Amino acid sequence: MTPRIETTNEKKLVGKRLTMSFANYKVGELWKNFISRRKDITNNLTNELISLALYQPTHFADFKPTNEFERWATVEVSDFENVPNEMETLILPSGLYAVFDYKGLSADNSIFQYILKTWLPSSDYVLDDRPHFEVLGNKYKNNDPTSEEEIWIPIRPKNTSH
């Protein structure tokens, strides 16, 4: 599976967040909370949902299933003028990403094993310390093997420093 390499523009996101780990993965609770209030966000730029993760810089280098991270359930908005109660804002910085078109169950994390353990080490890139996210568009179907989504992994060329 070969990704396309894209530079994303800065995005303004509105949504909800929860701190979790892979050992205590509360993504279902997060999305249930968010979807029940999604209609309160009136300035969406698209109908796509963005599932985003903020990891500590050492999260994957010293990986343990108990490492905590922030998971966000969001949509992209035009501005932060009318943020619904109990929702938060996040600016996704522009940057270089490897974008994988994934088809299959979102609960099957073998795609991430492939990306981080097979594709990345053999590529010309390393992980960058920016948000990881998935774009859940029209073809996304929760818990369905025919579901499609885009997986965006932050990267930078191997031979450059921050």
**What is the tens place of the pLDDT at every residue in 98-142?**
999 999 887 777 888 899 999 999 999 999 999 999 999 889 988
DSSP 8-class letter at 115: I
What are the φ/ψ torsions at residue 112 (nearest 5 degrees)? -70, -35
Name the CATH superfamily, with its identifier, for domain 4-157.
Answer: Regulatory factor, effector binding domain (3.20.80.10)
Residues 68-79, mean pLDDT to the nearest whole number: 97
What are the φ/ψ torsions at residue 93 (nearest 5 degrees)? -70, 155
pLDDT at 162: 57
Asked if residue 50 has pLDDT above 60, the reply is: yes
Contact by Cβ (8 Å): 71, 49: no
Question: How high is the mean pLDDT of the chain?
Answer: 92
Q: Which of 62, 135, 74, 126 is nearest to 96 (CA)?
A: 126
* Neighbour count for residue 102 (Cβ, 10 Å): 19
Residue 161 — pLDDT band, cuts 50, 70, 90?
low
DSSP 8-class letter at 67: -
pLDDT at 60: 85
pLDDT tens for each residue of 74-87: 999 999 999 999 99
